[in-house]
Amino acid sequence: MTTQPISHVRLAILGSGPAGWTAAVYAARAMLEPLVISGLQPGGQLTITTDVENYPGFADPIQGPWLMEQMQLQAERMGARTLFDHVSKVDLGRRPFVIETESSGRITADALVVATGAQARWLGLESEERFKGYGVSACATCDGFFFRGKEVVVVGGGNTALEEALFLTNFASKVTLVHRRESFRGERILQDRVFANPKIEVVWNATVGEILGSGTPLKVEGVKLVDTRTGTPSVRRCDGVFVAIGHAPATELFRGQLDMKPSGYLAVKPGTSLTNIPGVFAAGDVADETYRQAVTAAGMGCMAALDAERFLAAEEAARTAA
């Protein structure tokens, strides 16, 4: 962690999830002395994940916060610097790029890796917050394995919800798909698969009003559903709740500067981390609306660091030649 004022760096990395820390490891090994600006949620989404079983290299389950801590320590051992601050504004229209932080003032950078991530959209319930990591999840790929032979509820009606429900049938004994309307928004082929799966029951015109549970440690035991037409409440027993109402990429800072997909995710040149602005690279969930896994984010962080290294080396060569 840096305690000295910083005014200029060769490479700044915005975000401290798997993409950001991996980019920092590779950039530090390339002697770029990268600065990682942690953001509002240091460690990203893995800091609210308990058991992680699908990150390569660990035979036994590991804790998400511990994994992020180890990535940070590794990056700092290599020579990366960490600034625990929040970026309030960036100006990518001039070189060096200008980064305004809330507490540390203005920092300029010759190159920038954007690894600000994405966050799952939640229902906004107090009970949902209480049970996160204890039966409430927003990632079936991450946590479905823990619900073998159990009953789960999936909330949503788009492609994400339909895909999560189908995936969970590989583990759960029953999947209840709760949607607030009377028809899905997801693709027809996914709908057909959902309707054809005997493990999936659809509850139309209902919302989750409360997640029920108790125990030490906490354990989900059911959900309170509310009929959207009549307001009638009902209780349904379950062992887990998967919220699948979409993800929101953290791209607001770059609106009007970096090209984005209609979904709001940053657009990159296929097979690279290159954005539409030379010297700005995107990695991890902020540019990945398909996979959103820690291991893919880490891989993209590696790509971004290598792309940034080549960009800065080419600039240096051009200055020397001139």
- Give the catalytic positions in this structure: 139, 142-143
Rounded to whole angstroms, how far apart are CA atoms 97 and 163?
Answer: 40
Residue type, 149: G
Rounded to whole angstroms, how far apart are CA atoms 105 and 100?
Answer: 6
Q: Give the burial class of 15: count Cβ atoms within 10 A of its Cβ; 0-12 exposed, 13-18 middle, 19 or more buried.
A: buried
Cβ distance 34 to 12 under 8 Å? yes
Cα 99 to chain centroid distance, Å, stands at 22
Q: Residue 195 phi/psi, 5° resolution?
A: -65, -25
CA dihedral 291, 38, 88, 119 (to 10 degrees): 30
